[in-house]
């Protein structure tokens, strides 16, 4: 009995002090709150029918976005905890162990469970509408992708209160993370959760490639596709080439840890560098996976709010393809200092700098798009414009880091931290906010408040610069990354304090955003037209939110900026009056993606704790779900014409 | 709804009646491209494993080397069985195009049997090696060997289980565009595994026997 209690106390980390108790308390309160509300308002059935079983890309997109915002909160809290600790020399409110866990979960969550779902959320929200089709090519698979991501994120977050978080950094380099030096479930959580969500991401890549290749509306040739759709296409190709490599890196490391093999160990003939190469062969393309879609949506936003077509469309496309190709030949710049030699380092230094060229092309095209345009500084536009100078700082310091001899000076210092936060926040997060303000009406039928949006933008943007700009200098002053505290006397104290103040200002910006969401849900302006920004692409042709079937009649595309052209020529969206509606073929909802992902979760937990029975149960469950699907022949239905007429009439579109 | 069977939730593209049966519904042809892309990512996965194997090949940590371990007869039989199964799998597709359900099932069964022969030899090779102390845990080389060859083997196992499900569906429904598509997808999967095996045969076994 005593043994069991001891085990449980350790397992649930009750011996780890107040931080864990508080988290336990908050998690229990939040869970009880959710269960309570769902039960009180009898929402369980609604939740299951409308959300958990949905295969509708629009709803899946919304779920991705909600998850991403929650994860931004979790990762942001981690960031603020770290900044609090670093605000002044010799602070010890986080122990070294806790600090390590927190920077690891912060980095991992921000990239894999915040940035990725945010951009994949936008894929779902916008692409099928932009190319004028009724859903993605494989809606059922799309639901699987989402639930795999969701349960992987749950598993990863669980680590904080059950068994301990990973602490090997978001890169999880061996040999440190091998069992010998880092026993316990922590790193297994990282490996398993990333593998599971990686499967979902690969499926998303395939799904959107086929969707864009095969489901474009008639007349939409490749060179008439909206820029965002182009960026999704290119990104999906990168996903397809990069993610399997990550799967292998993580899988092999997990086999090392769970089954004692010697891929990356120091003894037994292991080769830790092989992991580092595999990891970054995925890792560098990954940073383009989270920025290219942002470039795409910025092109949409800037052209919409300049009321001009995008400048240099083909140059934009070519530069994206060039970035995609180059992104696969730069991975060594993450470890110049690991001794590959001057020849190799020079090659990768030059290839990295070369990426600045197509990126520069894009920046100039955005600027020329605005030139002589009728500019409208809505919040979405502010965020997109904010990307330009901030991402520029990130990019230019990136070129500095790409100079191998110089990199020996600031490698893994705060200079690097500042650099990648300028690209990831100044690029991806700003872009995500831009996309949220832009597509919010399409997602929810409500506009976010512009005034709050401006407050949100300015506080966050200024806070961000106060937080991260000084860190370039901290790097030059010798402060290295992943340092849990530092002694007085180096002159770092005041600079760090400024940085921390900036971080909290960003927190304020985030709170304004959340307030904006809540305020707008209640008082926000409804979007009755479906086209609040005088948009150019087809997602603005349908209602906000779009009906289940997206378009009653699939539009015929006559050129770039299809909806703009239709508005110019006064063409109605539902075609000439005499063309009758036809029944629309749609996929059925299914609970299986959800259930299958639960089994994945169980299997994952089995691998985390080496509970093989649980792993086998999960695995068999997954197989059974797949076999059942193989025997499912009747998985779609028709929406009858009367229902379409009713919906279109209600939207005033008959 | 006369054209109900050709509709897809995207858009209606006219279907050319001259293409093979498995392409006859647009939904099916989408899945076929999707599956090709899936095989593309699988190829990257195997490439990463191959790269790792090549790096690890010499890292034997004082344990058995590939030259000492590999058994020529064993891997030759495996190779012949799998290559031949690709041929019989092709015959199954051929009969499917001609609409002979029972012949399709017959050739699938032959393919299945050859697949099982392959797996049997692979498993017995592994058991034999482990008996000699050449375990996954012994050295970096052996870790990479077992995981590369084992990943291929587990793919073959999935192929075997999958096609068993398809046999039931063929028996129940005959050759329709949907069952034809399923058999076709399985067949390209099977050929793909054959292609991967050719690389394992040369890079792992043949090369490993020489150096
Ligand atoms: C709320 C704003 C944020 C703050 C205050 C913040 C702060 C920090 C801090 C203090 C560190 C640890 C530095 C160290 O000790 O080495 C860090 C690391 C990191 N951050 Fe952030 N960050 C923020 C947002 C983001 C975002 C949005 C992303 C990605 C999209 C991101 C990605 C990372 C990564 C990858 C690491 C490296 C983790 C590691 O060393 O393994 N951060 N951040
Ligand atoms: Cu990189």
Residue A591 in tokens: 């609970």
- Phi and psi, residue A535, nearest 5°: -75, 175
How many residues in chain A?
654
Residue A312 in tokens: 């240099």
- SS3 state at A217: coil
Please choose, from the candidates A90, A146, A184, the residue with its C-alpha nearest in 3D space to the C-alpha of residue A492. Answer: A90
Average confidence (pLDDT) over B166-182: 95
- In angstroms, the separation between the Cα of residue B83 and the nearest Cα of chain A is 26
CB spacing of A262 vs B61 below 8 angstroms: yes
Peptide bond preceding A175: is omega within 30 degrees of 0, i.e. cis? yes
Q: Give the C-alpha distances (Å, rounded to integers) separating A597 from A150, A529, A626, A629.
A: 8, 38, 11, 14
Contact with chain A for residue B136, Cβ under 8 A: yes
Q: What is the CA radius of gyration of chain A?
A: 25
Report the pLDDT value the prediction gives residue B85, as an integer from 0 to 100. 97
Whether residue A81 has its Cβ less than 6 Å from ligand 1: no
Digit-coded pLDDT (tens) for B63-80:
999 999 999 999 999 999
Digit-coded pLDDT (tens) for A286-310:
999 999 999 999 999 999 999 999 9
Digit-coded pLDDT (tens) for A578-617:
778 899 999 999 999 999 999 999 999 999 999 999 999 9
Question: Rounded to an integer, what distance in angstroms lies between the CA atom of residue A446 and that of residue A579?
Answer: 31
Question: Which residues 510-569 in chain A show a CB within 8 A of chain B?
Answer: 554
Whether residue A275 has its Cβ less than 6 Å from ligand 1: no
Does the pLDDT at position A125 exceed 50? yes
**Which ligand 1 atom is at minimum distance from the Cα of A425?**
27
Q: Which ligand is nearest to the CA of A331?
A: 2
Digit-coded pLDDT (tens) for A42-89:
999 999 999 999 999 999 999 999 999 999 999 999 999 999 999 999
Whether residue A115 has its Cβ less than 6 Å from ligand 1: yes
First to last CA, chain B: 66
Question: Rounded to an integer, what distance in angstroms lies between the CA atom of residue A84 and that of residue A73?
Answer: 16
- In sequence order, what DSSP letters do the residues of A43-103 get, joined into one string? -HHHIIIIIIT---HHHHHHHHHHHHHHHHHHHHHHHHHHHHHHTSTT--SS-HHHHHHHH
Contact with chain B for residue A248, Cβ under 8 A: yes
Question: Rounded to an integer, what distance in angstroms lies between the CA atom of residue A549 and that of residue A551?
Answer: 6
Whether residue A369 has its Cβ less than 6 Å from ligand 1: no
Chain A residues with CB under 8 Å of B2 CB are none
Report the pLDDT value the prediction gives residue B13, as an integer from 0 to 100. 57
For residue A637, the cross-strand partners are A586
CA of B163 to the centre of ligand 1 (A): 47
Question: Rounded to an integer, what distance in angstroms lies between the CA atom of residue B62 and that of residue A265?
Answer: 15
Residue A238 in tokens: 């990168």
DSSP letter (8 states) at residue A126: H
Digit-coded pLDDT (tens) for A360-386:
999 999 999 999 999 999 999 999 999
Does the pLDDT at position A112 exceed 70? yes
Digit-coded pLDDT (tens) for B2-22:
333 334 564 455 667 778 888
Q: Give the C-alpha distances (Å, rounded to integers) separating B145 from A249, B49, B51, B70.
A: 15, 9, 12, 11
Question: Rounded to an integer, what distance in angstroms lies between the CA atom of residue B57 and that of residue B208?
Answer: 8
How many residues in chain B?
211
Chain A residues with CB under 8 Å of B61 CB are 262, 267-269
Digit-coded pLDDT (tens) for A198-257:
999 999 999 999 999 999 999 999 999 999 999 999 999 999 999 999 999 999 999 999
Please choose, from the candidates A455, A286, A312, A298, the residue with its C-alpha nearest in 3D space to the C-alpha of residue A386. Answer: A298
Residue A454 in tokens: 């401006």
Digit-coded pLDDT (tens) for A1-48:
688 888 888 888 888 888 888 888 888 898 899 899 989 999 999 999
Atom 2 (ligand 1) nearest CA:
A76
- In angstroms, the separation between the Cα of residue B183 and the nearest Cα of chain A is 12
The best mutation among A87, A106, A168, A290 to test binding of ligand 1, ranked by most ligand atoms within 8 Å of the C-beta, falls on: A106
Does the pLDDT at position B177 exceed 80? yes
Contact with chain B for residue A585, Cβ under 8 A: yes
- In sequence order, what DSSP letters do the residues of A334-401 get, joined into one string? GGGGG---HHHHHHHHHHHHHTHHHHHHHHHHHHHHHTT------HHHHHHHHHHHHHHHHHHHHHHH
Digit-coded pLDDT (tens) for B33-52:
999 999 999 999 999 999 99
Contact with chain B for residue A199, Cβ under 8 A: no
Whether residue A170 has its Cβ less than 6 Å from ligand 1: yes
Chain B residues with CB under 8 Å of A144 CB are none
Chain A residues with CB under 8 Å of B33 CB are 210, 213-214
Report the pLDDT value the prediction gives residue B15, as an integer from 0 to 100. 65
Superfamily for A43-590+635-650?
A: Cytochrome c oxidase-like, subunit I domain (1.20.210.10)
- In angstroms, the separation between the Cα of residue A568 and the nearest Cα of chain B is 25
Question: Rounded to an integer, what distance in angstroms lies between the CA atom of residue B8 and that of residue A28?
Answer: 45
| Predicted complex ipTM exceeds 0.90 | yes
Contact residues for A560 (Cβ-Cβ < 8 A; gap 6+): A223, A224, A309, A313
Whether residue A417 has its Cβ less than 6 Å from ligand 1: yes
CA of A424 to the centre of ligand 2 (A): 12
Question: Rounded to an integer, what distance in angstroms lies between the CA atom of residue B131 and that of residue B126?
Answer: 8
Q: Which residue of B has its CA nearest to A129?
A: B10
Does the pLDDT at position A474 exceed 70? yes
CA of B100 to the centre of ligand 2 (A): 54
Report the pLDDT value the prediction gives residue B14, as an integer from 0 to 100. 60
Contact with chain B for residue A206, Cβ under 8 A: yes
- In angstroms, the separation between the Cα of residue A646 and the nearest Cα of chain B is 20
Question: Rounded to an integer, what distance in angstroms lies between the CA atom of residue B107 and that of residue B170?
Answer: 13
A40: left (phi over 0), alpha (psi -120 to 50) or beta: alpha
Average confidence (pLDDT) over B89-97: 96
CA of A24 to the centre of ligand 1 (A): 24
Chain A residues with CB under 8 Å of B166 CB are 630
Question: Rounded to an integer, what distance in angstroms lies between the CA atom of residue B118 and that of residue A321?
Answer: 42
Contact with chain A for residue B59, Cβ under 8 A: yes
Query: Which residue in the set A240, A249, A554 is minimally distant from B11, CB to CB?
Result: A554
CB spacing of B11 vs A135 below 8 angstroms: no
A592-609 vs A139-158: helix crossing angle, rounded to 10 = 30
Q: Please give the mean pLDDT across all residues of chain A.
A: 95
Contact residues for A57 (Cβ-Cβ < 8 A; gap 6+): A124, A125, A127, A128, A135, A136, A139, A142
């Amino acid at each position: 009995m005593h043994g069991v209690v001891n085990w449980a106390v350790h397992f649930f980390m009750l011996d780890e002090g107040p931080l864990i108790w508080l988290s336990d308390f908050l998690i229990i309160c939040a869970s009880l709150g959710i269960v309570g509300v769902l039960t009180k308002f009898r929402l369980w059935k609604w939740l299951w029918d409308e959300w958990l079983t949905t295969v509708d890309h629009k709803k899946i997109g919304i779920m991705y976005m909600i998850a991403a915002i929650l994860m931004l909160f979790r990762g942001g809290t981690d960031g603020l905890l770290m900044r609090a600790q670093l605000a002044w020399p010799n602070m010890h409110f986080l122990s070294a162990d806790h600090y390590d866990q927190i920077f690891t979960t912060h980095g991992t969550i921000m990239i894999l469970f915040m940035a990725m779902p945010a951009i994949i959320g936008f894929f779902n929200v916008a692409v099928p509408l932009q190319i004028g089709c009724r859903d993605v090519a494989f809606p059922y698979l799309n639901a699987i992708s989402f639930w795999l991501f969701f349960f992987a994120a749950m598993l990863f977050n669980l680590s904080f209160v059950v068994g301990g978080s990973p602490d090997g950094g978001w890169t999880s380099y061996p040999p440190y993370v091998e069992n010998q030096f880092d026993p316990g479930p922590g790193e297994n959580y990282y490996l398993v959760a990333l593998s599971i969500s990686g499967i979902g991401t690969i499926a998303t890549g395939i799904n959107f490639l086929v969707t864009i290749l095969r489901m474009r509306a008639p007349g939409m040739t490749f060179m008439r596709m909206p820029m965002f759709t182009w960026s999704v296409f290119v990104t999906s190709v990168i996903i397809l080439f990069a993610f399997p490599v990550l799967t292998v890196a993580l899988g092999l490391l997990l086999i090392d840890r769970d089954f004692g093999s010697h891929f990356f160990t120091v003894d037994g003939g292991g080769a830790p560098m092989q992991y580092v190469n595999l990891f970054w062969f995925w890792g560098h393309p990954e940073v383009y996976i989270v920025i290219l879609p942002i470039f795409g949506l910025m092109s949409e936003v800037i052209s919409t709010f300049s009321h001009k077509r995008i400048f240099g469309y083909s140059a934009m496309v070519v530069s994206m393809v060039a970035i995609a190709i180059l992104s696969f030949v730069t991975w060594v710049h993450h470890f110049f200092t690991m001794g590959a030699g001057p020849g190799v380092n020079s090659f990768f230094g030059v290839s990295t700098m070369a990426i600045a060229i197509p990126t520069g092309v894009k920046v100039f095209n955005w600027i020329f798009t605005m030139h002589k345009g009728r500019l409208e500084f809505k919040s979405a536009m502010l965020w997109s414009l904010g990307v330009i100078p901030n991402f520029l700082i990130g990019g230019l310091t990136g070129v500095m880091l790409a100079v191998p001899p110089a990199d020996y000076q600031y490698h893994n210092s705060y200079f690097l931290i500042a650099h990648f936060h300028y690209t990831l926040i100044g690029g991806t997060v700003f872009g995500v906010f831009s996309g949220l303000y832009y597509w919010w009406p399409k997602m929810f039928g409500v506009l976010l408040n512009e005034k709050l949006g401006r407050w949100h933008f300015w506080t966050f943007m200024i806070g961000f610069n106060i937080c991260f700009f000084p860190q370039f200098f901290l790097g030059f002053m010798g402060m290295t990354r992943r340092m849990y505290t530092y002694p007085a006397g180096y002159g770092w104290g005041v600079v760090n304090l400024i940085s921390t103040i900036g971080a909290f200002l960003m927190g304020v910006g985030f709170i304004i955003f959340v307030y904006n969401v809540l305020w707008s849900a209640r008082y926000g302006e409804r979007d009755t037209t479906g086209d609040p920004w005088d948009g150019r692409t087809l997602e603005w042709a349908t209602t906000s939110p779009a009906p289940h079937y997206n378009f009653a009649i699939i539009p015929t595309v006559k050129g770039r900026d299809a909806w703009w052209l239709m508005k110019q020529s006064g063409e109605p969206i539902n075609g000439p009056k005499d063309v009758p509606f036809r029944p629309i073929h749609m996929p059925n909802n299914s609970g299986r993606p959800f259930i299958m992902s639960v089994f994945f979760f169980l299997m994952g937990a089995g691998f985390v704790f080496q509970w093989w029975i649980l792993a086998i149960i999960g695995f068999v469950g997954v197989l059974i779900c797949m076999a059942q699907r193989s025997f499912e022949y009747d998985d779609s239905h028709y929406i009858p014409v009367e229902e379409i007429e009713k919906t279109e009439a209600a939207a005033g579109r008959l | 709804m006369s054209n109900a069977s050709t509709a897809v939730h995207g858009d209606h593209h006219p279907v050319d009646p001259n293409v093979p049966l498995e392409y006859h519904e647009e939904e099916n042809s989408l899945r076929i491209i999707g599956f090709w892309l899936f095989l593309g990512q699988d190829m990257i996965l195997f490439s990463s494993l191959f790269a790792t194997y090549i790096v690890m090949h010499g890292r034997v940590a004082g344990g058995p080397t590939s030259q000492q371990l590999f058994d020529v007869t064993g891997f030759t039989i495996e190779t012949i069985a799998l290559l031949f199964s690709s041929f019989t799998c092709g015959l199954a597709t051929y009969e499917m195009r001609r609409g002979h359900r029972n012949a399709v099932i017959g050739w699938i069964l032959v393919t299945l049997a050859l697949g099982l022969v392959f797996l049997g030899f692979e498993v017995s090779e592994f058991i034999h090696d482990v008996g000699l102390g050449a375990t996954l845990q012994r050295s970096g080389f052996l870790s990479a060997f077992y995981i590369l060859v084992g990943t291929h083997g587990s793919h073959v196992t999935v192929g075997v289980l999958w096609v068993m499900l398809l046999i039931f569906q063929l028996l129940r429904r005959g050759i329709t565009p949907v069952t034809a598509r399923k058999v076709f997808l399985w067949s390209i999967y099977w050929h793909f595994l054959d292609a991967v095996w050719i690389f394992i045969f040369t890079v792992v076994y043949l090369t490993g026997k020489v150096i």
